[in-house]
Structure 1
Amino acid sequence: MGWDLKLDNKHDLAVGTDQDLMLVGGAQRIRQQITVTLLTFLGEWFLDQSWGMPYFEKIMVKAPSRVEIENLVRAKVRDVPGVKAVPAVDIQIDALARRARITLPDIETDEGPLTVSVIQ
C-alpha cells in the first residue's frame, strides 16, 4: 500500500543512527497517517487549507454535536489509504481544558484491525 516518512513520538521526522530518514509501511503507516490526520487542525497545512479536522469550528465549541463530531472523525479517517471501516468512535471532551481524547477501537484496515487514540 506504500511507504511514508516515519515520525517519532514527538511527531518529528525519525532519523536512524546513520542520520538517514526512516520509512514506515504496513499497519504502522496506516496508524501514523490516522494519527497525523486527527492531530491536524483545519487550515493548518499551508499547501491545502481544506485538509484537517475542524476542531475550532465544530468540536471545541460550546455544546458540540457528538453525532456530528463522530461523523467528521469517521469521514476523515476513512479517507486514509488502507482504511476500510471505522466501526466505533469514542470521544471524551474536556470543555474546561478545551481538549478532546479521540479513541478509535478496531479500525478495519488492509493490514488488519488497529486501535488509535489521540489527545488534541
Structure 2
Amino acid sequence: MTSVRFGLAIDPVTDDLFLRSDGNLATVSDAEAVGQHVRQRLTTFSGEWFLDKTAGVPWLDDILGKAYDPALAESVVKAEILNTDGVTEITSFSVSFDKATRGLIIKSVEVGTIFDTEVQA
C-alpha cells in the first residue's frame, strides 16, 4: 500500500485547484492529503477516469441505478473509503437518501489515518 503524503489542494466548494495568496498552487500533506483523497474517490464514478476504468464508486450500477438498498449503499461507500491509501479506519459515517432527487447524500465521514490523526473527508 502506498501512503499519500502530499498533493495539490482541492477547494471543497469548487472541487478545483486553487492558488495561495502568494500565487503558488495550494498543497496538502499527510492526514489532510488522505482526507482529500477519500473525497476525490467518493466523487469519482466507476469507469470515469480514462487511466483506470476500475477506479471510483459504482454509483450507477450498484447504488443509484436500482431500488435503493441502504445496507448495500453503505457497504459500497465504506469499502471505497477503506481502500483509500492511508486510511486505517472509519471513525464516523453518516449518509441519507433523498427520494425526491434519488441521490445519496454523504453527510459526514471521518477517518483515522496512518499519521495517527483523524481527518474529515
TM-score of Structure 1 vs Structure 2, range by shorter chain: 0.7 to 0.9
Q: Counterpart in 2 of 1:108?
A: 112
Find the residue that maps to 1:50 and give its secondary structure: coil
Q: Counterpart in 2 of 1:79?
A: 83
Pairing 1:18-57 to 2, within 5 Å after superposition = 18-57=22-61
Instruction: Report the Cα offset of residue 104 of structure 1.
Output: 4.5
CA–CA separation in structure 2 for the residues paired with 1:56 and 1:115: 25
RMSD: 2.0
Instruction: Report the Cα offset of residue 40 of structure 1.
Output: 0.7
| 1:91 counterpart (81, 87, 95) | 95
TM-score (norm 2): 0.81
Q: Counterpart in 1 of 2:68?
A: 64
Q: Counterpart in 2 of 1:15?
A: 19
Gaps of 5+ in 2: none
CA–CA separation in structure 1 for the residues paired with 2:66 and 2:45: 18
Identity %: 28
CA–CA separation in structure 2 for the residues paired with 1:81 and 1:54: 19
Deviates more, 1:5-14 or 1:99-108: 99-108
Q: Counterpart in 2 of 1:6?
A: 9
Label 1:88 to 1:19 Cα distance change in 2 as closer, same or farther (>3 A): closer
CA–CA separation in structure 1 for the residues paired with 2:16 and 2:59: 22
Count residues in correspondence. 116
Gaps of 5+ in 1: none
Amino acid at match of 2:21: T
TM-score (norm 1): 0.81
CA–CA separation in structure 2 for the residues paired with 1:36 and 1:17: 24
